[in-house]
Amino acid sequence: MSNRNSRFERKVTIVTGGAGGLGQAITAALVEEGARVAIFDTNPDAIDRALDELARPDSVMGAIVDVRSRESVTSGVAEVVAAFGGIDILVAAAGGSLGTPRDIDDIEPEHLDLVIDVNIKGTFNCAQAVVPFMKVRGGGAIVNFSSIGGRSTSPVTGIPYAAAKAGVLGLTRRLAREVGPDGIRVNAIAPGLFLTGRLQGMFDAMADKDRNEVLDSIPLHRMPELRECVEPVLFLASEESSYITGAVLDVNGGRFMAG
Ligand SMILES: NC(=O)c1ccc[n+]([C@@H]2O[C@H](COP(=O)([O-])OP(=O)(O)OC[C@H]3O[C@@H](n4cnc5c(N)ncnc54)[C@H](O)[C@@H]3O)[C@@H](O)[C@H]2O)c1
């Protein structure tokens, strides 16, 4: 078993949405364990802030990549290969409901397109672009982001998000089957509610009664810390999960329990 503090020594990793709440926490943890990480994100200010905070210019690079665009992803991947020499791990965290309305009457075609494009097409584009480089390395690990919203009927997010995050699971399984013979493992993480960015503000602004309703639906009866999503992602990305592929890991304090 590898030393836990250097599980990712010199492993080249792409974290999409790496300037966001979970993505940046994952990036920091990977760098801490020796990885070289490329942040792909559409938000240049957030990328700059993340790079400043991480303060590890030797180990972290940022690229403005829109995962919806195959060209943008392909050129980002080429930049990473030029800088770090190859690709071992992809963490596809770019996604979310992206500020779109939750309720069916309010959903316009462009909302549906945005959520499907970023979460599903984006995840596909990234996988398609990195797989050839992982094959060259003799294997790799891909961790896709689903959600409790794709596993169950979350009251927080709407139909497009539910469909997209359930779609990510189908994509994950089919891809795992296809690239397994090349030594590439593909798994998904399905987090419950983690209070990143504006979600923390929304939660803080809720009435006590509503906050308690959320907590009562979680058997562990507390909100998680970010590291409680980071650790399971690192597990799926590491050799510790070397015989796990096509799986989904629910990280939700027991709010949804798969049968
Ligand atoms: N936070 C939660 O409670 C929670 C729960 C379940 C699943 N998730 C999933 O986890 C992932 C990360 O969530 P988060 O809470 O860190 O969100 P976040 O909004 O903090 O971060 C998402 C990042 O993705 C980037 N992004 C958006 N569109 C993009 C695009 N087209 N190309 C590249 N980057 C793009 C954003 O700029 C942002 O930095 C998402 O896939 C989300 O659906 C989050």
* pLDDT value at residue 122: 99
Residues with catalytic function: 161
Distance (Å) of CA 165 to CA 22, 148, 182: 16, 8, 26
Question: Looking at the DSSP assignment, which residues form a beta bridge with residue 89?
Answer: 13, 141
* pLDDT value at residue 199: 81
State how far Cα 165 lies from the chain centre: 11
CB 214: neighbour CB atoms within 10 A? Answer: 16
Ligand 1 centre distance from Cα of residue 187 (Å) = 17
Q: Which helix (H) or strand (E) holds 47?
A: helix 44-54
Determine contact, residues 26/233, Cβ cutoff 8 Å: yes
Ligand 1 centre distance from Cα of residue 93 (Å) = 6
Question: Looking at the DSSP assignment, which residues form a beta bridge with residue 191?
Answer: 251
pLDDT in tens, 170-187: 999 999 999 999 999 999
* pLDDT value at residue 88: 98
Alpha-carbon distance of 143 to 95, in angstroms, equals: 13
Ligand 1 centre distance from Cα of residue 210 (Å) = 24
Alpha-carbon distance of 181 to 55, in angstroms, equals: 38
Determine contact, residues 158/104, Cβ cutoff 8 Å: yes
Please choose from 14, 16, 22 the residue to mutate so as to test ligand 1's pocket, defined by most ligand atoms within 8 A of CB. 22
Q: Does domain 4-195+225-248 have CATH number 3.40.50.720?
A: yes
- For the chain, which ranges sit under pLDDT 70? 1-4
* pLDDT value at residue 39: 98
Main-chain dihedrals φ then ψ at residue 246, nearest 5 degrees = 75, 15
Alpha-carbon distance of 37 to 15, in angstroms, equals: 7
Where do the domains of the chain lie? 4-195+225-248
CB 98: neighbour CB atoms within 10 A? Answer: 14
Closest atom of ligand 1 to CA, residue 94: 24
Q: What's the one-letter identity of residue 81?
A: V
Distance (Å) of CA 2 to CA 6, 9, 58, 140, 240: 7, 10, 23, 16, 8
* pLDDT value at residue 2: 54
Q: What's the one-letter identity of residue 57?
A: P
pLDDT in tens, 183-240: 999 999 999 999 998 788 778 888 898 889 889 999 999 999 999 999 999 999 999 9
By residue count, the chain amounts to 259
Q: Which residues line ligand 1 (CB under 6 A)?
A: 16-17, 19-23, 40-43, 46, 65-68, 93-96, 118, 122, 145, 147, 191, 193-194, 196-197, 199
Ligand 1 centre distance from Cα of residue 66 (Å) = 12
Alpha-carbon distance of 127 to 124, in angstroms, equals: 5
